[in-house]
């Protein structure tokens, strides 16, 4: 029976030894610097010796640490290679999609059952993507909002993005004309401060600065606040498709403005023939085509359909 020290302690020591600091090890292992230091201390107590000299500008390996670190590095490299080899032997495709939190919550997750129903053999993994996170090599693909220029990535346009106010039906009854928005909270999205100015300019409305309401980190939070009656949010397609169709939100005005960017399916060119990507691309095309019909809104607000529905860019 093997009598091994804590593997967490060994990993913490090996990473700290390679990086020459607890900070580098903490970033690699995704734990705090204090946690790395504690695990190394426990390992030192288990071995009955010190592995590092703690210096003001970093760590220095003791003679014992210099003897231990190379074999540990080789062992962990071997474990990683074995795991990757076994993972490559899996028979079911894995589809890892990098997607922003708002797109995931407002559009992707509600439709996952549809994708699973069509492709039960594909394992789907949603990763945190979007504009604020770089595209990662282990992703199969991503769905991004932008101008289509991502160096090193193939970008296939999906559909254009347009902006228009949305709110509850009760609130919409108070909005006879765009200038009535001065009496409501206009919900902001921190990373898209241009949305309301774009729409208000198109509507020919100038509001006092104090008319702008609370700010939220993303569209999903702002739209939830609109659902709860906090104020009027800017609806960005496709985030509001389901709420419009289910009459949870309405669009009180017929004015819509382009955001100036489009949604793209992006991926590394070498993944073009990936079975999961091919299936996902085809499913996206069918899903967007199915969404191209106007939502069945109450007659009072049906004038919204004078506005062109978001334009599909899939050929």
Q: What are the chain's domains?
A: 7-86 (1.10.10.10), 90-315 (3.40.190.290)
Among 14, 29, 27, 28, smallest CA distance to 59 is for 14
Q: Each residue of 91-117: pLDDT tens digit?
A: 678 899 999 889 999 999 999 999 999
308 pLDDT exceeds 70? no
DSSP states along 198-244? HHHHHHT----GGGEEEEESSHHHHHHHHHTTS-BEEEETTTTHHHH
Q: Residue for token digits 């020919």?
A: 204
Q: Each residue of 14-63: pLDDT tens digit?
A: 999 999 999 989 988 989 999 999 999 999 999 999 999 988 888 999 99
CA distances from 220 to 206, 211, 225 (A): 26, 21, 9
E strands, the chain, in order: 52-55, 58-61, 94-99, 123-128, 141-146, 154-166, 186-189, 212-216, 233-236, 257-267
Q: Each residue of 182-195: pLDDT tens digit?
A: 989 999 999 899 99
Q: Each residue of 137-153: pLDDT tens digit?
A: 788 999 988 888 888 89
């Amino acid at each position: 029976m093997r009598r091994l020290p804590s593997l967490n302690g060994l990993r913490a020591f090996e990473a700290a030894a390679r990086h020459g600091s607890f900070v580098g090890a903490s970033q690699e292992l995704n734990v705090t610097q204090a946690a790395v230091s504690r695990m190394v201390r426990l390992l030192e107590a288990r071995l009955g010796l010190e592995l590092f000299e703690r210096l003001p500008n970093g760590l220095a390996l003791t003679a014992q640490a210099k003897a231990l670190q190379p074999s540990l590095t080789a062992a962990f490299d071997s474990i990683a290679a074995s795991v990757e080899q076994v993972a490559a032997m899996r028979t079911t495709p894995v589809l890892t999609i990098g997607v922003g939190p708002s797109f995931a919550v407002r559009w992707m997750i509600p439709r996952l059952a549809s994708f699973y129903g069509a492709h039960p053999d594909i394992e789907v993994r949603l990763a945190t993507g979007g504009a604020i996170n770089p595209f990662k090599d282990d992703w199969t693909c991503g769905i991004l909002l932008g101008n289509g220029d991502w160096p090193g990535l193939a970008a296939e346009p999906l559909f254009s993005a347009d902006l228009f106010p949305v709110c509850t039906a009760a609130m919409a009854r108070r909005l006879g004309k765009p200038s009535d928005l001065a009496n409501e909270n206009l919900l902001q999205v921190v990373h898209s401060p241009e949305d309301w100015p774009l729409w208000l300019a198109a509507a020919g409305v100038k509001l006092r600065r104090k008319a702008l309401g609370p700010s939220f980190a993303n569209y999903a939070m702002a739209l939830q606040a609109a659902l709860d009656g906090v104020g009027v949010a800017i609806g960005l397609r496709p985030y509001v498709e389901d709420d419009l169709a289910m009459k949870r939100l309405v669009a009180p005005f017929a004015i819509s403005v382009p955001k100036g960017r489009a949604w793209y399916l992006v991926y590394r060119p070498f993944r073009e023939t990936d079975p999961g990507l091919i299936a996902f691309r085809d499913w996206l095309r069918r899903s967007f085509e199915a969404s191209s019909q106007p939502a069945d809104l109450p007659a009072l607000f049906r004038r919204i359909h004078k506005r062109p529905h978001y334009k599909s860019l899939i050929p």
